[in-house]
Amino acid sequence: METFEIMSFCDLHTHSIRSSCGFHTLLEIVSIMKGKGEKAFALTDHGPTLGTPRAHFSVMLRRVPPVIDGVRMFKGVEASVLNGDGDIDLPLFEGYSYDVILAGLHKHGLYEDPQGKDENTRALVNTMKKNPALRVITHPYFETFPVDMDALTDAAIETGTALEVNNSYLLNDKADTASLALMLEIARDKGTPLAVNSDGHVFHEMAKFDLAVKFMEPYGIDSLNIVNRTLESTLEFLGLEG
């Protein structure tokens, strides 16, 4: 039987019922994470373009405590890239900041129709350069959106943005695995920041990294610049205190 190392990371990409695609409430997710022995996670529901009410982010940022039942919750969002100029659907509230901002290409608006490799790359590169608070580009090997990995990894290094290794995209057959393999090869050689996340929408997906770990093994996991290996490294990457 094939075996591979079981590893855990600080999960920076999960969705609650507030996302149209999520299944659990926040308190259910806290219970799920605690049951799996996780010390922290990020709640990163989709931005308003994909249907999440703007009020969700306002209440989360202003009123939800950072620690719930002993589990640290990073207050976040997975924004959607809106155009080639790098605009994203990030709800802002004066005086309140996110712990972590993710952004990625999703099938909506301009991107309902294929834009091509060059335009997809331009959009993600501009997103990183235009949004200095952005920490992670999600699923940059989504089979629907081909990109130039050489240019993308260069921009990630320049801006200090991590490119995501997304377990759920492997689990649910949404990944262009050849593109992911190229991303890992280039990222290993360049030292590009990477974030290993579950993108969990359902309990069994959350804090699950097995397929990502299996895919990364040939590239030498210890040789990859993974920013969320531990809670401590994650806090440092996000510029937060414990």
DSSP codes joined into one string, 189-215:
HHT-EEEEE--BSSTTTTT--HHHHHH
d(CA 33, CA 200): 11
CATH topology of domain 11-238: TIM Barrel (3.20.20)
Residue 68 pairs in a beta bridge with 71
d(CA 63, CA 61): 6
CA distances from 65 to 86, 133, 140, 200 (A): 31, 21, 31, 21
Q: Which residue has the tokens 């994650």?
A: 234
Q: Dmax over Cα atoms in the chain, in whole Å?
A: 54
65 alpha carbon, distance to own chain's centre: 22
The tokens for 190 are 């360049």
In this prediction the pTM is 0.95
The tokens for 170 are 């492997």
Per DSSP, the three-state class of 168 is helix
Digits of tens for pLDDT over the chain (242 positions)? Answer: 344 455 789 999 999 999 989 899 999 999 999 999 999 999 999 999 999 999 999 999 999 999 999 999 999 999 999 999 999 999 999 999 999 999 999 999 999 998 999 999 999 999 999 999 999 999 999 999 999 999 999 999 999 999 999 999 999 999 999 999 999 999 999 999 999 999 999 999 999 999 999 999 999 999 999 999 999 999 999 999 87
d(CA 141, CA 154): 16
Per DSSP, the three-state class of 25 is coil
Domain ranges of the chain: 11-238
